[in-house]
Amino acid sequence: MMIGVEDRSQRRSVWLVVAVLGAMVWAALFTGMASAQEAEPVTDDEVNAIAKQLYCPVCENVPLDVCPTQACAQWRALIREKLAAGWSETRIKDYFVEQYGDRVLAAPPARGLNWLVYLIPPLAFIAGAFILYRAFRAWKQPLPDSEPQRVPSGAAADEYVARLEEELRRR
Amino acid sequence: MVYAELGFGSLIITFLVSLYAAGAAIYGVRRNAHAWVDSARNAMLLTFPLLSLSALTIIYLLVTNHYEVEYVTEVTSRSMPMYLKVTALWGGQAGSLVFWSWLMSAFATAVTLRKWDRDREFLPWVVVVSSITLAFFLGLVIFLENPFVRIWQTGTGQIITAMFQPAGSRIFVPADGSGLNPLLRHPGMIIHPPMLYLGFVSFVIPYSFAMAALITGRTDDRWIRITRRWTLVAWLFLSLGLILGGRWAYDVLGWGGYWGWDPVEIAAFMPWLAGTAFLHSVMIQEKRGMLKHWNMILIILTYDLVIFGTFLTRSGVLSSVHAFAQSAIGPAFFAFIGLTFITSLTLLLQRWNELKSEAQMTSLLSREALFLLNNLLFIGILVVCFWGVLFPLISELATGQKVTVGPPFYERATGPLFAGLLLLMGVAPLSAWRHSTAKTLGRAMWKPFIASLVVVAAVLIGGIRHPAALLGFWLAAFVAFVTLYEFWRGALARHRRLQESLPAALWNLAARNRRRYGGYVIHLGVVLMAIGVIGIEIFQTETQGTIPQGGQMALGNYSISYDSLANFDTPDGRNVARAVLSVYKNDQYIGELHPRRDYYYESQQPMTIPGVRSTWEEDFYVLLVDWEPISSQGATFKIYHNPLVNWLWLGGFVFILGTMVAAWPEREAEAETERARVRRARYAAAEA
């Protein structure tokens, strides 16, 4: 009986050991996974993908991903930190805009006065096209004395030769 | 130390002489006194030797290390080689302005020396316009940006700068200068500014003739015919300057690109856009006597954009309202631009009714109509550029907040316009003057069109699915086939009719109308450049990483292994960090690359020189971004894969070649169009 009791308590302790070991392995696995997740480095390419879209206020017109100055290196380090902390691209960009103003973005955000930057060129182009269209309409009224010259009909090649000769002659 | 006084004195005399030239010419015309006009002409001729004296004095001071002159201290140092000291003439703002004026006076002299028998009435006004332009730049140099200012030490030991010796002070000679900006110490940068400036100043000549035509009322297109070659030469230099600038950026700036939509780049690009529109639309005036107002507006625009560009490329003060308000030359430039613009437009309005069109637009598909569309697109791109450069200032003025208008804006806004230009480049050469119908165009176009579709099919089979790339390649192929077809048809026609051999027929065809066929060669150059642009803009890939010595990094089917890094000082004052990399393509060793970082002690500026392996297929472009200075164990590299980028440079070469063909002097005397002959005869009769 004693043996039996001992046996049972032994079996219990074995289970205990197994459970503890199991827990340790599990914990080890879990923490291992967690630490692996923490240690997975942010690549330069991930940093550059965001830096490419930003401009620091000091280096005019040089995108952050290629700017060689110390200040820009610090900004890139900051992006890396935020990425490591799990920030999204939009959140990082918003953060820089909040800190330094709209000028860090490669193009002005479309709001307020900035709408002008996007509206003026197409409007100017449409206006130009309209003026041109009106001019065409006005010009197309043929003058009686400027009958278009008729090229004698014939084979396409002859027509071309005639036109070429005429153009070269008239220079 | 008389050199500074000599150079400065000669600047002042040139300034006075050019003012005299303008005054004498106007007086001569008013009083109808030929002697005064001749005197103005001689004064104009005098500006070149005088300015040469000034410019050579600066060069002398630069190469002989006269560091008591502030400008010399700013742009040179003892360790710089001789050729760089010479080119430091255009390494800073004050020197650049003298250089600009020097080139301007050379061109003004050249144009003054031409034969004027047929158009004497233009002479005084050409002298007036070019000498006023020259006087403006000389005024800037004398009053605001004097390169001869020296450094003095006062009795109390203070260091000050002044042109002439302040009382109780001694000349102060610094031991060494701070040296030329390292970015400018590159062959591309040595040739690039002079080319750009040559382009800038030579556009002043057609503008002077245009103004002369408006003032004298000689509104036939004689002014266009006289300045045709000047315009082409101006355009040649400007294009060359832009292409060299792109190449320099690619080689030196270390961002894997050639064009960054920087305001300084755009400043040089805008006069080119207006000038290109002008080059095309003057042909309509020559052939058809139309668009006379428009051509005047274009040349006025080009001239003022040239002045604006000179201002922007050198001073860069447009970066903020604050810097602009503080700089002395900013307001001076704007006053001059405003004044010339308003005066020119007033002159144009006065002659508005005399510049009536002589013909009607008869077809929407005629060559002249398509040229007008081309003008609309060029001006559209110009508006985008101008607005993009200006908007940050407007925003800062209105809201106090600065914004960046960067590449994404320009690319999105100009992309479709460039595509439209390519399409026109394919269609317009096939359309006829006056009358063209969809039917005749279609008949001329179907062969090149089918051929271009074959190319698109081949590209599709090659695995490219990107829609913009497919569209781009189709346009490039279409333009190329149309242009080659034009050469072929022309040569074949001569071959059949005149029994010439095909190569001889081709040669004689091009020789017979250099402007037309030179223009087609330029179009082919643009096609090649477009292929390069599509390659790098759409298919560029990049990666960056830090690897230990012996480590490897891959991008696509390329990989590099980092062999070693050497860090050493050079006698010319640099610290060089140079990495040695082995490059593998598909795991096959193909050679070594040596990307490096030069640090200039004097100016405390780093410069990144890429290691590039260049083929027609692609560039493999490696930058040394960072390294561990002590252990030299690890280093960071950035790798770019730039497909097809060499086609861009080849295209640039073909482009320039075509421009030279177009601008090459004709052996025979100037041939006139029938229309021009009739007009000139009518004008001569009216005069008599």
* Residue B206 forms part of a structural domain: yes
| Integer Cα distance of B76 and B90 in angstroms | 11
Q: Rounded to whole angstroms, how far apart are CA atoms A19 and A25?
A: 10
Tell me the C-alpha distance between B523 and B426, whole Å.
9
Residue B188 lies in a domain: yes
B360 closest CB neighbour out of A113, A125, A141: A141
Can you give the pLDDT at residue A5? 47
CA distance A107 to chain B (A): 5
- Over 80: is that where the pLDDT of B326 sits? no
Q: How far is B380 from chain A (nearest CA, A)?
A: 6
Which residues neighbour B539 within 8 Å (Cβ) at sequence distance 6 or greater? Answer: B466, B469, B643, B644
Sign of CA dihedral A129, A131, A137, A142: negative
At residue B74, what are phi and psi to the nearest 5 degrees?
-70, -35
CA dihedral A144, A148, A150, A151 (to 10 degrees): 160
Which one is predicted more confidently, B253 or B276? Answer: B276
In terms of residues, how long is chain B?
A: 688
How sure is the predictor about A150, in pLDDT bands with cuts at 50, 70 and 90? very low
Tens of pLDDT, residues A101-140: 888 888 888 888 889 889 999 999 999 999 988 888 877 6
- Does residue B675 form part of some domain? no
Domain hosting B621: range is: 541-646
Position B156 scores a pLDDT of: 87
Whether residues B286 and B386 fall in one domain:
no
The pTM of the full predicted model, rounded to 2 decimals, is 0.87
Task: Note the pLDDT of residue A146.
Answer: 43
Mean pLDDT for chain B overall: 88
Residues B298 and B366 in one domain: no
B497 and B602 part of one domain: no
Q: Which residues, in sequence order, are CB contacts of B273 under 8 Å at separation 6+?
A: B378, B379, B381, B382, B385
Residue B225 lies in a domain: yes
Domain end marker among B305, B325, B357: B357
Residue closest to B97 by CA, chosen among B179, B188, B201, B210? B201
Phi-psi region of B644 (alpha: psi -120 to 50; beta: other; left: phi over 0): left
Instruction: Judge if B426 and B446 occupy the same domain.
Output: no
Residues of B in contact with A117 (CB under 8 A): 387-388, 391, 403, 405, 409
Q: What is the pLDDT of residue B120?
A: 87
- Do B101 and B121 lie in one domain? The reply is yes
Cβ atoms of residues B525 and B651 within 8 Å: yes
Shared domain for B22 and B117, answered yes or no, is: yes
B167 and B188 assigned to the same domain? no
Residue B451: per-residue pLDDT = 93
Can you tell me which residue has the tokens 């307001």?
A: B331
End-to-end CA distance of chain A: 125
Which CATH number does the domain housing residue B49 bear?
Answer: 1.20.120
Do the bridges between strand B611-614 and strand B618-627 make them parallel or antiparallel, or are there none, so unpaired?
Answer: antiparallel
Query: Does residue B677 fall inside a structural domain?
Result: no
The answer to whether residue B470 scores a pLDDT higher than 90 is yes
Domain for residue B682, yes or no? no
Same domain, B574 and B641: yes
Percent of chain B with pLDDT over 90: 53
B379 contacts in chain A (CB < 8 Å): 128
Pairing of strands B634-643, B618-627: antiparallel
User: Is residue B308 located within the same domain as residue B246?
Assistant: yes
Do B100 and B48 have their domain in common?
Answer: yes
Q: Has the ipTM of the complex gone over 0.90? A: no
A156: which chain B residues are within 8 Å (Cβ-Cβ)? 443
The tokens describing B301, both together, are 């625009």
Q: Is residue B493 part of a domain?
A: yes
Residue B186 above 90 pLDDT? no
User: Which of B116, B148, B180 is the last residue before a domain boundary?
Assistant: B180
If pLDDT is split at 50, 70 and 90, which confidence band does B158 have?
confident
Mean pLDDT of chain A: 73
- What DSSP character marks residue B571? T
Residue B315: band (very low, low, confident or very high) from pLDDT cuts 50, 70, 90? low
B331 within some domain: yes
SS3 string, B539-559, reads HCEEEEEEEECCCEEEECCEE
Contacts of A113 in chain B (CB under 8 A): 394-395, 398-399
What is the number of structural domains in chain B?
A: 5
Q: Buried b / exposed e across B316-341, counting CB within 10 Å, b at 16+?
A: bbbbebeebeebebbebbeebbeebe
Query: DSSP readout, B85-102?
Result: HHHGGGSSHHHHHHHHHH
The 10 Å Cβ neighbour count of residue B590 is: 14
Calculate mean pLDDT across residues B440-466: 90
Q: Is residue B259 helix, strand or coil?
A: coil
Q: Do residues B207 and B255 share a domain?
A: yes
Residues B203 and B156 both lie in one domain: no
CA B139, chain centre distance (Å): 24
Say which range, A21-25, A135-139, B263-267, B495-499, has the weakest mean pLDDT.
A21-25
> How many angstroms separate the first and last alpha carbons of chain B?
59
Distance from CA of A143 to the nearest CA of B (A): 7
Whether the CB-CB separation of B258 and B248 falls below 8 Å is answered with: no
Indicate yes or no: CB of B403 within 8 angstroms of CB of A146.
no
Q: Output the pLDDT for position B484.
A: 94
* More confident call, B538 vs B679: B538
Where is the domain boundary, B414, B432, B450? B432
- Give residue-wise pLDDT tens across range B372-430: 899 999 999 999 999 998 898 888 888 888 888 888 899 999 999 999 999 999 998 88
